[in-house]
Amino acid sequence: MESQPISLSRNSKTLQGSKVKLFSFKGVDVYSKKNHLLRKINLEISRGDFKFVTGKTGAGKTTLLNLIADDCPGLSISGAVYREEAVQNNSIFTSRIFQDLKVFKNMTVLSNLEYCFDPNLYSRVLFEKEMHDYSRMLGIREKLGVKLSECSGGIIQKVAVLRAILAKPDVILADEPTSSLDKASSQTVYEIFKLLNKNFSTTIIWATHDRDLVRSLSGEIIHIENGKLAHQGSTCFI
């Protein structure tokens, strides 16, 4: 890993540093047409939280992230769902790292990252500076001009991670963001997230089924089994 100090600048005007409740779910059930996906979920997520969502494949981690992101097409939801008003009007912004990545493989790394360029947040110069800084940290600096169809799975995953970071979100919902990465790269992603969490109170919700990874990192965990919230607490539980 190229370790070079980066200057992370933010112009977020929203509730920075304060422990504000962003999401709250009380007794929430989520159903698809045939399955009961989440059962009686009681969960609170505040500004500055760093939480891992753990559980086996199919336990309901992705559904929980979709529930938090209010992105549940075709699903029925019951129970009390609370979202901070600023979340609803996008002044507290949530970006995502999708499990299926949702990148455009017919485009270059750079073109994919351009989707995050919001002129209301960045000047072009600042965007390019941050893009180069982060891509250097993630080791994809030299790949910016390469088409994703020609890149390895690890590089594509790093692009998805970088895209979520460059959106300058207040909340990052990361669904298996390191599933194709080696241990060192996973550690780098964790360090970047930790840096964002510490410096800008960015809320990080990280879903993974990799117990070893969680054991090696520090944070709170939300453990899900068969759609039920089995445990909330520190990673020591793992």
Partner 1 sequence: MFYLNVFLQSLYKNKVRAIIYLALCFMITFLSIYKSSILDLMKKNLSHLQEEVSFQVAVDDSFSNKEKIEKSESLPGVTSVIKLSSAEVVSRLGEISDQYDVNLGNVLNEVSIYKISLNPGISIRNQNLVRKYFEKLLNNSESIISPLDFPSAALSEQTSIFINTIENIFKVILFVLFLSFFVSHYFLTLEIFKQSYIIENFQRKKKVGLKATTSGSAIFLALIGMSFLINYSKGYIFLTFLIIFFITLYIIQSQRMIKN
Question: Which residues are at the interface with partner 1 (CB under 8 A)?
Answer: 73-74, 90-91, 93, 95-96, 102, 104, 106-107, 111, 115-118, 120-121, 163-164, 166-167
- As a whole number of Å, the end-to-end CA separation of the chain is 28
Q: Which is nearer to partner 1, 59 or 116 (CB)?
A: 116
Q: Which is nearer to partner 1, 82 or 115 (CB)?
A: 115
* Min separation Cβ 221 and partner 1, Å: 25
CB–CB of 64/80 below 8 Å?
no
* Min separation Cβ 102 and partner 1, Å: 6
Q: Which is nearer to partner 1, 59 or 161 (CB)?
A: 161
Scan for tokens 């504000």, then name that residue: 20
Instruction: Return the structure tokens found at 111.
Output: 């073109």
* Min separation Cβ 231 and partner 1, Å: 29
Q: Which is nearer to partner 1, 97 or 151 (CB)?
A: 97
- How far apart (Å, rounded) are the C-alpha atoms in residues 42 and 20? 17
Q: Which is nearer to partner 1, 91 or 216 (CB)?
A: 91
* Min separation Cβ 118 and partner 1, Å: 4
Q: Which is nearer to partner 1, 143 or 168 (CB)?
A: 168
* Min separation Cβ 16 and partner 1, Å: 16
* Min separation Cβ 144 and partner 1, Å: 17
* Min separation Cβ 27 and partner 1, Å: 25
Alpha carbon 39 to its chain centroid, in Å, reads 23
Q: Which is nearer to partner 1, 93 or 190 (CB)?
A: 93
